[in-house]
Amino acid sequence: MAQIKEFSVEEKLASLVSLQKIESKLDEYKILKDEITGLHSRQTRIEEEINGIQEFINQKKEIIKEADALIKKYDKQSQNVKNSREFEAINKEMEMQQLEVKLAEKHIKDANEEIAEKVIVLERAKKNVSSKEGVLKNKKDELDKIIATTEKEEKHFNKLSAEAREKVEPRLLISYDRIRKNYRNGLAVVPVLRDACGGCFNAIPPQRQSEIKQRKKIIVCENCGRILVDDDLNNAVEVK
């Protein structure tokens, strides 16, 4: 027969706090990685936009070149006109080409201005990427005190998470996962901070706070449903 181990409520709460802290660490890695991926794709998008504008400028330059060539051609023709009717026709054609040149020049000017703006945005995006990468590096360095690489760390915390999950009884684990999934910050177990729920900041009456401190039963926030622990217990649980 399997030995059934009975945990006190206090032990259960401590297991939950530990699980929460481990999985919050894993959340941090995920958020940071997602952010960096997002910034990288933003940078790529801006680079593509700049390339597109550059192509547009090149097209306009080509149009100017062609129009210039035509103007020269008509200019030469006009010097060899036989009669005035033919001369007028050529003049009209030249005027049209001059307009074409003016229009293309205007488009180039606009496109250049747009590029200048994009370059600023791109520089900003690049700076953002490098600063985020700096944050990631700092985070890594900070945690590298324990293990060499982020991957190893994640593995480590994944392992811890699996272990911590085994220590929480199934019924509680289901509630924990359900609450965690409901909140963007992934917090299912929170301490009481400044007389309020550490998750939703709803005030907690003194009577309820002392019940939480007794650690005799599992108490959830009436407002957000998160599992509440006293700050001392929360601080006592360390995750490494």
Number of residues that bind Zn ion (CB under 5 A): 7
Percent helix, strand and coil across the chain, each rounded to 5?
A: 75, 5, 20
DSSP 3-state assignment of 112?
helix
Nearer to Zn ion, 212 or 221 (CB): 221
- Residues 85-124 touching Zn ion, rule: CB under 5 A, are none
By C-beta, is 219 or 221 nearer to Zn ion? 221
Q: How many CA atoms lie within 13 A of 184 on its CB side?
A: 2
Residue 77 makes contact with Zn ion by CB under 5 A: no
Nearer to Zn ion, 168 or 199 (CB): 199
CB 122 within 8 A of CB 43: yes
Q: Print the binding letters for residues 203-222 with Zn ion: x by CB under 5 A, - otherwise.
A: ------------------x-
Task: Judge contact between 94 and 75, C-beta under 8 A.
Answer: yes
> 70, 139, 223, 239: which one contacts Zn ion (CB under 5 A)?
223
Residue 127: both structure tokens together: 């700076």
CB of 21 to Zn ion, least distance (A): 18
Single-letter code of the amino acid located at 21: K
Q: Cβ closer to Zn ion: 94 or 227? A: 227
Rounded CA gap, 73 and 65, in Å? 12
| Nearest distance in Å: CB 1, Zn ion | 41
Residue 171 beta carbon to Zn ion: minimum distance, rounded to whole angstroms: 21
Closest separation in Å from C-beta 10 to Zn ion = 21
- Which residues in the 141-200 window bind Zn ion by CB under 5 A? 197, 199-200
Q: Measured from the CB of residue 218, what is the shortest distance to Zn ion in angstroms? A: 14
* Amino acid identity, position 8: S
**Which residue among 13, 224, 229, 237 contacts Zn ion (CB under 5 A)?**
224
| Spatial separation of the C-alpha atoms in residues 141 and 150, rounded to whole Å | 9
Nearer to Zn ion, 138 or 202 (CB): 202
Q: What three-state secondary structure class fits 191?
A: strand
Residue 163 near residue 14, CB atoms below 8 Å? no
| Closer by beta carbon to Zn ion, 175 or else 223 | 223
Q: Alpha-carbon torsion 197, 198, 202, 205, what sign?
A: positive
Interface residues with Zn ion (CB under 5 A)? 197, 199-200, 202, 221, 223-224
